[in-house]
Structure 1
Amino acid sequence: MRSKTPRINRLTQIIRFFRVSRLLLWTIWVIYRERRRVVRARSRGNYEVQPNIEVLIRVLEAFRKAAIELGVLMIKLGQFFSSRADLLPEQALTVLADLQDEVPPAPFEHVVSVIEAELGKPVEEIFSVLERKCTAAASLGQVHKAVLASTGETVAVKVQRPHIAQLVSMDLSTLKFVIQVINRFVDTSDFIDLMGVYREFRRTVYEEIDYVTEATNAKRFREIFQHDPTIYIPRMHDEYISRRVLVMEWIDGIKINDYAALEAANINRLEVAKRTVNAYFHQFFEEGFFHADPHPGNIFVKKGAWSDGPVIAFVDFGMVGRLTKHMKRSLKEIFLGFVTRNSHAIVNALTSLGFIGDGANQAAIERGLSIMLEQYYGITLGEVRELDFPEVARELENLLYGQPFHIPAQFAFSGRAVGTLVGVSTGLAPDFNFLEVATPYARSFLGLDAEGITQTVQDVFTQLLDTSKVMLELPRSLERVITRIETGQLEVRLANIPGGHSRRSRGRRGNGGTTVVAASTNGSGSMLGGFMFVASLAGGIYLTGIHQAMPGWFCLGIAGITALATLLRR
């Protein structure tokens, strides 16, 4: 039996440490510096300031080149950054968007060595055939086609690349070191949660290099789609699964983006798009557990044994996303906030989900959301299809990149998955209506179907009540103040009013329990009217400033009525 792959020697580790440190330090610093400059400028109201795209692109192109050379974790980090619209503007993201696992396959001798070390048998006893040439090579592993000696079944054998555990540990330690160095000299918490990014990335990488976890994920997907003949998940071979080796059923199919082969097989491309997107919306809205890496190499199309169209087969379950009950509830609150055009409720839900960190300018974020709500609220499906999506993307970029947003890992994955799906479905069928397929799932998720409509109405009503609480409380507060004035418990004096007695304002407690607030004027009616006008005007300006439109306009209306009544009285 062959020995295990030897560890990386000390000198090689030191050289890699310095190369990775230099690459990460420069890349992360430039990303942070540009975002800090934009966020600070926009917090001062200067929305003309833009990040230096040329510098960002130059740095990211250098990162991409070095990442392909270094391999393993640097490629995964580039792919991770490519899904973070909170860290990079759209034009910079495109540099990393198509960063694939552009690495050559590991030697066949390594593949044999890992299989025998992990499964404890000579490779000839396990497989009657094991093809030397891999069918797919990635930064963390590669796949070989084989035939099981025991059953004659054709299988896919997934084997990790050399030194993966050691390289991942080394590069993660280097990434953490670089972040600690940056945080020692600069407080980045207001602009980028670098340690949060590190923790998210670390968790996802360790999940992806554990093939036992991947096999567990695949089994769960098989259960989810066991009654759906349009979706197929390959079967895992439990007796041949370890942390570094995974043996699964071989999928004979056409890559979802091989349009010529789909046409040659007489497969309906529009139906392929519909079934793929349907499968994902089922995962998002109903299961809360989804395949987080839907690039074309992980989705195949097969001709079904039945006469009702194509079968969509998924592979590679190392990256998955999860939506907890709390996350689903907060997402529902965001949808309902959109229905009621309540930007304050949306921001609260985003904060609850972890999108908005401490110290964020929530008023500025609410203003941005309010503008977008006014622009896109009530838009029809036909108008959606005619939207200039690059322009919408730029507006979202300004909202995300220009404010201290932090996208949690699960939502980075879901956003990346949705973006990939849109691209795949559009390529399959340019006339495919993405939103039309999503609508039934969204209605069910929001409780707009027959079973959940009562709860949804109640939730919307609660949102409206929350919005109007301030409006309802303000007149009561004013009434209590007026009552205290009329009963002599509170004396209000308006200084420097023509016709009144101007005197220095000061507060004191009289013998009879009367509170003196300001200077008196010539007549209780004028005094009350002036107080009502000033209080209502100030309240209206404040409330509209924080995007509480209904109570704000109510207060401004009171101010207008009070001013008109005062003029008519005179």
Structure 2
Amino acid sequence: MKEVVAEPVKEVVSEPVKEVVSEPLEEVVSTPEKEVVAAEIKPEATPAPAPPPSPPVYELRESRVPSSRLGRLWNYGGLAAGMLAGAVSESVTRTFNGSSSSSSSSVMLSPANMNRLVSKLSRMRGAALKLGQMMSFQDAKMLPPPIQEVLQRVQDRADYMPAYQRDKVLRQNLGDNWRELFTEFEEKPIAAASIGQVHKAVLRATGERVAVKIQFPGVADSINSDLDNIAVLLTATKLLPKGLYLDKTIDNARLELGWECDYEREARCAERYRTNLLGDGVFSVPRVYPEASGRHVLTMEWMAGTGVTRVAPSLDQEQKDWIGTQILRLCLREITEFKFMQTDPNWTNFLYNPELNKLELLDFGASREYPDGFIRLYVRLLEASSRNDKAAVKELSEELGYLTGHESKAMLEAHLTSVMTLAEPFMETAPEVYDFRDQTITERVKAQIGVMIHERLAPPPEETYSLHRKLSGAFLLCARLGSRVRCRELFRDALEKSGFKKD
């Protein structure tokens, strides 16, 4: 969940605040004075590149959540009508200006229409916004640049609900006297995302600082109708290219959104994750407080770290290498050892605490278990790719369902090239220290997308949507940090610890 820090407000605010300009989500952490030594990684020093410009701070805004199905349908209908009218206006403008680009898809992707889409998704929240965030990590390489920009913009923005809607959810889940559970409860949320918002508070029973996540009303009940409406909108406006298997993406989103809206399930997943990481001195998982939680309210231990991408400009190269190494190590453990993964790759789910030299993990709603059979074949696929064994990769791809065995030569070559490219950091021929600052994996995979869109005969297996989203997100995070990682060594260690044996 993308957090945006607002000024603490301890008193109860009776009138809703219409607009709050906030700081970025996590607590502000000063530049760490002590040097953090990268675990088992001592690459030669190289000049650090200039840090990327900081992203603009999003203004956390209050707006009522459309909670009834009719109200949400009305909003989607209004969005479709507005975008169609915008396309007509854009077409007329281009005609009078003598522009030759006036195709239906081109005019639909006008800047005005993209702004309409971002604004409406941010206000609607729920399934539509979550679908956009999921696609930003999973399918963005296949999309037109204006849509890619929309998906990037909605990753870290959502409006927050007014106090009367928030308090109703709290009463329904914690009782009429919910305020008695806390000695302090900040009225303004520190974060708002697709499904809910987060408030900072202090538990009365223990005096501990906590984060209280409150789900937007109507979001859980409107998952199916929201996704059906957005599918109609995307089809009618022809915003997406053919070959994306939108129906499969939406079916997967339907499943995952059901999980994420069940905060009781998320609490169980967080506890399972804590158990999996016992003895791992690198990661911290927040405790859950059941006495202050319910199906649509989740109270967890406050994590004091700062989002890794936000603190990155203040870190030296060795620290960036260490963070990237640990995130990839965790991702490989999830696949090969746990068979259980927190599949949301949002970078704000990873906090860095320089005082403890730990990475703090957030948001376990999208956690899922993978079948033993799938993981066994998938790990074999990764291992074969690391040896550049194309024959084995083809055979395993057919067993997993990526290929049917009847693909065209062009499709087969595009698939094999993409798999090998994604496995490049783990290959036996890869550099001992893989420099993500220089990686071109995304661009090379994107070069194969056109062929796969037109030639693919079957959608990939259901498990792939979430797993590849997380793995791709880990690669992108390492690139964003500029990490240098001993990927070959990490992969060999993961295979060894999982007991992998080559057939």
Q: Same fold (TM over 0.5)?
A: yes
- Show the counterpart of 1:159: 214
Q: Tell me, yes or no, if the aligned pair for 1:274 and 1:437 is still in contact at 8 Å.
A: no
Query: Which deviations, in whole Å up to 9, do the C-alpha atoms of 1:484-503 show, x marking residues without a partner?
Result: xxxxxxxxxxxxxxxxxxxx
1:366 equivalent in structure 2: 412
Higher relative contact order (CA 8 A, sep 6+): 2
2:350 to 277, 281, 299: 299
Cα deviation code 1:80-124 (max 9, x no counterpart)? 332344992474663223432422211223222211221124123
Does the 8 A contact of 2:195 with 2:219 survive in 1? yes
Could you tell me how far 1:207 is from its partner in structure 2?
Answer: 0.8
- Aligned residue number for residue 225 of structure 2: 170
Q: Counterpart in 1 of 2:12? A: none
Cα displacement string for residues 29-63 of structure 1 (whole angstroms, at most 9, x for unaligned residues): xxxxxxxxxxxxxxxxxxxxxx9995685476664
Task: Give the letter for the 1:318 counterpart.
Answer: G
Q: Which has the larger radius of gyration?
A: 1
Q: Letter of the aligned partner of 1:94 in structure 2?
A: Q
**199-208 or 436-445, which deviates more:** 436-445
Matched, 1:77 2:136: no
Alignment of 1:70-469 (within 5 A): 70-85=124-139, 88-89=142-143, 91=145, 94-95=148-149, 96-175=151-230, 191-259=243-311, 263=315, 268-303=319-354, 310-335=357-382, 337-338=384-385, 343=390, 345-356=392-403, 361-369=407-415, 379-381=429-431, 385=435, 388-389=440-441, 391-404=443-456, 406-428=459-481, 430-433=482-485, 435-436=487-488, 438-441=490-493, 443-444=495-496, 452=500, 455-456=501-502, 459=503
CA drift at 1:227: 1.1
Distance of aligned partners of 1:408 and 1:321 in 2 relative to their CA distance in 1, 3 Å threshold: farther
Q: What letter corresponds to residue 330 of structure 1 in structure 2?
A: L
Q: 1:343 to 1:251 in 2, by over 3 A?
A: same
Over the residues paired in the alignment, what is the CA RMSD in angstroms?
A: 4.1
1:435: how far off? 2.1
Superimposed CA distance per residue, residues 174-216 of structure 1 (whole angstroms, 9 cap, x where no aligned partner): 346679x98xxxxx9x945443233211101111111011111
Moved more, 379-388 or 111-120: 379-388
Deviation at 1:154, TM superposition (A): 1.4
Distance, in Å, in 1 between the alignment partners of 2:416 and 2:306 is 45
Q: Which has a greater percent of helix?
A: 1
User: Using a 3 Å threshold, how does the CA distance of structure 1 residues 201 and 154 change in structure 2: closer, same or farther?
Assistant: same
Relative to structure 1, is the Cα distance of residues 389 and 267 closer, same or farther in structure 2, using a 3 angstrom cutoff?
closer
**Equivalent residue for 1:16?**
75
Shift in Å at residue 142 of structure 1?
0.5
Change (3 A) 1:56 1:345: farther
What is the identity, as a one-letter code, of the residue corresponding to 2:142?
L
What is the rounded CA distance, in whole Å, between the counterparts of 1:263 and 1:104 in structure 2? Answer: 31
Classify 1:89/1:407 alpha carbon distance in 2 versus 1 (closer, same or farther; 3 Å). farther
1:297–1:390 Cα change, 3 Å: closer
Residue 281 of structure 1 aligns to a residue whose secondary structure is helix
Query: Which residue type is aligned with residue 445 of structure 2?
Result: A
State the TM-score, normalized to the length of structure 1: 0.61
Instruction: Assess, with a 3 A threshold, how the Cα gap between structure 1 residues 262 and 234 changes in structure 2: closer, same or farther.
Output: farther
Cα distance between partner residues in 2 of 1:6 and 1:277: 37
* Deviation digits for residues 269-301 of structure 1 (CA, Å, limit 9, x no counterpart): 432332233222221221121222232322112
How many residues of Structure 1 are paired with residues of Structure 2 in the alignment? 410
- CA separation in 2, counterparts of 1:383 and 1:314? 25
- 1: CA distance, partners of 2:386 / 2:243: 30
* Structure 1 residues 148 and 111, CA gap change in structure 2 (3 angstroms): same
Whichever residue aligns with residue 274 of structure 1, its letter is: T
**Structure 1: gaps (5+ residues):** 27-50, 183-187, 460-570
Return the letter of the residue paired with 1:67. L
Q: Is residue 56–residue 92 contact of structure 1 (8 Å, CA) maintained in 2?
A: no
SS in 1 for 2:199: strand
- Normalising by the residue count of structure 2, what TM-score does the alignment of the two structures yield? 0.69
Contact 2:68 2:218 in 1 (8 A): no
Q: Does the CA-based 8 Å contact 1:87-1:401 persist in structure 2?
A: no
TM-aligned CA deviation for residue 390 of structure 1: 5.0
Distance in 2 (CA, whole Å) between partners of 1:268 and 1:86 is 29
Contact 2:249 2:465 in 1 (8 A): no
Q: Which residue of 1 aligns with 2:20?
A: none
Could you tell me how far apart the structure 2 residues matched to 1:234 and 1:118 are? 21
Q: Where does the alignment leave 5 or more consecutive residues of structure 2 unmatched?
A: 1-63, 86-102
Q: Using the TM superposition, give the Cα deviation of residue 152 of structure 1 relative to its aligned residue in structure 2, in angstroms.
A: 1.5
Measure the CA separation in 2 of the matches of 1:324 and 1:374: 24
Change in 2 beyond 3 A, CA 1:443/1:57 = farther
Secondary structure in 2 matching 1:313: strand
Query: Structure 1 residues 325 and 295 mapped into 2: Cα distance closer, same or farther (>3 Å)?
Result: same
**Cα pair distance change 1:250/1:94, threshold 3 Å:** same
Does the 8 Å CA contact 2:243/2:453 hold for their aligned counterparts? no
CA distance in 2, matches of 1:6, 1:134: 15
Cα deviation, residue 436, structure 1: 4.0
**Structure 2 vs 1, CA of residues 372 and 290 (structure 1 numbering), >3 Å: closer, same or farther?**
closer
- Counterpart Cα distance in 1 of 2:415 and 2:217: 48
2: distance between equivalents of 1:351 and 1:20? 41
**Structure 2 vs 1, CA of residues 418 and 11 (structure 1 numbering), >3 Å: closer, same or farther?**
closer
1:229 counterpart SS class: coil
Q: Any conservation in 1 of the 2:252–2:465 contact (CA below 8 Å)?
A: no
Written as runs of structure 1 = structure 2, the 5 A alignment for 1:403-552 is: 403-404=455-456, 406-428=459-481, 430-433=482-485, 435-436=487-488, 438-441=490-493, 443-444=495-496, 452=500, 455-456=501-502, 459=503
Structure 1 residue 381, shift from structure 2 partner: 1.8
Q: By how many angstroms is 1:257 displaced?
A: 1.8
